[in-house]
Amino acid sequence: MSKTKISSVDHAKDSNIPKLLTGDLTPAVINTWEAVCMRHFRKANVPNEDKVTTIASCMEDPRMITWYKANALCIDALEFDAFMLEVRDTYLMLNWSETIRDEVMGSWQGGTPFWDWVNDLQSKNAMIASGVYGLDETAMRNQIQASVNPRLKKRLVSSCHQTELAAIVKFNQWLIAVKVINEDLRREQERVNLQINDALHSQETHLCAEFTRTFVAKGTSLQSAHTPSSSNAATTPNAPSKYKMEDKKQEILKRTNGCWKCQHPVQLHRSHECPYGYPDLKKHIPLTKDNLPARMRAKKEVKKVSAAVTGGATVKEVKDEPDGHIAAVIPSSVLEGSDSENKYVPCFLLPNLLWTVHINGPNSSSSEHIQALIDPGSHTVLIDKALVNQLGLVKRSLKVPMKCGEAMKGTTLLTHWVRLKLDSVNYCFRSVIVPAVVLPSLCVPVLLGLLFLTQNRLLVDCESRSVVHKPMGIDLLAPPAIRTPPSSELVSCLKLASQISRVVTATRTMIDELREHLVSQCERVDANSEAVECVDSIPLIQKKVEQLVIQQCLSDLDGFYKSKYADRFAGVPNVEDLPHDIYHRFALKDPTKVISTCSYSCPRKYWDTWATLLQEHLNTRTGCLAGSTTIVN
């Protein structure tokens, strides 16, 4: 299925009227259209009363053209700001400004670069800045500071930066200062990662060299197992001619994911980025099928020793590489400490992730508030049997009964399930319908497992105790202020009443302006005009009779002179009885072309034949002219 086409604005320069191209309208497109229209009005000095008419003439979407034609009288009477408000109310979804406000309030930086994330927030807030839902600079400042990633937030609230940032009054200067801090943090992290990688490579090279020396001391006869072949030699790109490899060695390196430059198996780099360089031919042991297992074991030993580069340290795996290195990152006081130390106090319990939601049922007159337990460790969704009976939900039988084991109670056989749909307390999130298994005596009304979290695209962060809806970016456990869901019929009626009120107001204003203008014009015209006298019809009738007499006289004279001089006017030749014999037909390439010569290009062998035909044709034409025949085929 093809994606919906989004409209765009065609605006080459400010002196030209901007064109709104075909497609669906979005808040961003309407804001862009409004901005370029304002620039055109200032450049072309368009009067206020002609602004709406000017830009309406360049709307190319058929739906907007039809809408404008049906309401042209009312739309042309609107001011430009009122016209843009009418466009937003007509072509944007209901509560679009609230939706964008929720996206701004629920946005988190995460792994997105700081400046890109801030620009996206400011672009969204600019769409609703003129309404009641727009955030001012103070609110945006608080929102950005609360939603940055934890590392940057910790740096912002530190003693060395908090006072400095608090002293900055202007919002843009504060953003630039935060950007500088974020860049320093990024460069610091890159330096740490580079030092870790250098330490790992250095340790790996050292251990590999130690193992190679030990291997040579134990089995020196392996050096004679390889005989170089000059006929089938190959070199790596840009390699000196003395570093040649046989086809067998190339196959081994391909199969073991090795490097063609340093000629070591199981490497994470390629020849163009090899940190080891070409091998020393005096000390290098060629890679063969016989010593390949030993080389592989050496590689594994290197990895094991690399994990213990710093004793008693917490390690972190680098996930981006296939055979991940183990990097010593943060020293652990827990592993290095003793049991007698009392600085560390363990925490045995954390509060559960409970989410207050609305749930409806046939037996409930209004939405019920319940506490749902967020449990990413559960593979299914469970609901208490008492809640099912209270709401009157329809129970359906499971095709295969499900066994459920409860602590201290043994195994329970579950046989029924219901359709479950939940709403957040502020109605900014509405879940999809998921099946929930009915469990008697459940400890919570509803337990939301992996099935619910996956189907609704929810991301659980246990550290920050948040459940974020990925498409909207809002945290369900920390929602904004509660608002009552508007009724669809009420919203439609209010919208219709608002439109009618605006049209009536605009119509009355237009009529009042016309009345004032026409009254003054009527007085001025009456003062400068002469009184209209009654029309006398007798002169008009007399003039018409004279015209008819003259016309009849001319007709009589025409007949008289034609009959008097009939012998001077020969009859028109008879064109009905003409010869239809065709002797030759000439097809002209260009009938409008003037013939400048009487000669025709033709083969020499046809000259005599064509000359005879042309002469006969001319003779025939002369005879026809003598018999008053004027058409020749």
Q: What is the pLDDT of residue 448?
A: 92
CATH number of 354-475: 2.40.70.10
Q: Out of 112-116, 448-452, 531-535, pick the least confident.
A: 531-535
**Beta carbons within 8 Å of 414's beta carbon, 6+ residues apart:** 398, 401, 402, 403, 404, 437, 438, 439
Classify 39 as helix, strand or coil.
Answer: helix
Residue 473: CA count within 13 A, CB half-sphere: 16
**Beta carbons within 8 Å of 382's beta carbon, 6+ residues apart:** 436, 437, 438, 439, 442, 446, 447, 449
Q: Out of 46-55, 123-132, 142-151, 167-176, pick the least confident.
A: 123-132
pLDDT at 329 over 80: no
Q: How far apart are CA 475 and CA 428, in angstroms?
A: 10
pLDDT at 439 over 80: yes
Q: How far apart are CA 353 and CA 332, in angstroms?
A: 29
pLDDT confidence band for 554 (50 / 70 / 90): very high
| Domain assignments of the chain as residue spans, ordered by start | 9-93, 97-186, 194-329, 354-475, 577-633
**Beta carbons within 8 Å of 359's beta carbon, 6+ residues apart:** 367, 368, 370, 387, 391, 420, 421, 422, 423, 446
Give counts: helices (H), strands (E), the chain: 19, 15
Q: List, in sequence order, every residue forming a beta bridge with 383; answer none if it has no partner.
A: 438, 446
> Span 157-164, mean pLDDT?
80
Cα distances (angstroms) measured from residue 308 to each of 53, 200, 201, 297: 77, 11, 14, 18
Residues counted in the chain: 633
Pair of tokens at residue 9: 């604005």
pLDDT digits (tens, 9 = 90+) for 204-224: 666 666 655 554 454 443 333
| Per-residue DSSP letter, 467 | E
> Span 167-190, mean pLDDT?
85
**Beta carbons within 8 Å of 126's beta carbon, 6+ residues apart:** 31
Pair of tokens at residue 30: 């309407």
Q: What is the pLDDT of residue 335?
A: 42
3-state secondary structure 256-291: CCCCCCCCCCCCCCCHHHCCCCCCCCCCCCCCCCCC
Q: What is the pLDDT of residue 383?
A: 92
pLDDT digits (tens, 9 = 90+) for 296-312: 766 665 555 444 433 33
Work out the angle between the directed axes of helices 96-105 and 114-127 (0-180°, nearest 10).
160
pLDDT confidence band for 551 (50 / 70 / 90): very high
> Span 391-405, mean pLDDT?
85
**Beta carbons within 8 Å of 62's beta carbon, 6+ residues apart:** 22
The phi, psi pair for 119, rounded to 5°, reads -65, -40
| Per-residue DSSP letter, 131 | S
pLDDT digits (tens, 9 = 90+) for 1-17: 446 688 888 877 787 88
Element (H, E) at 89: helix 80-91
User: Where are the alpha helices (H) located in 478-604, listed in sequence order?
Assistant: 488-528, 537-564
Q: How far apart are CA 55 and CA 62, in angstroms?
A: 15
Q: How far apart are CA 495 and CA 486, in angstroms?
A: 12
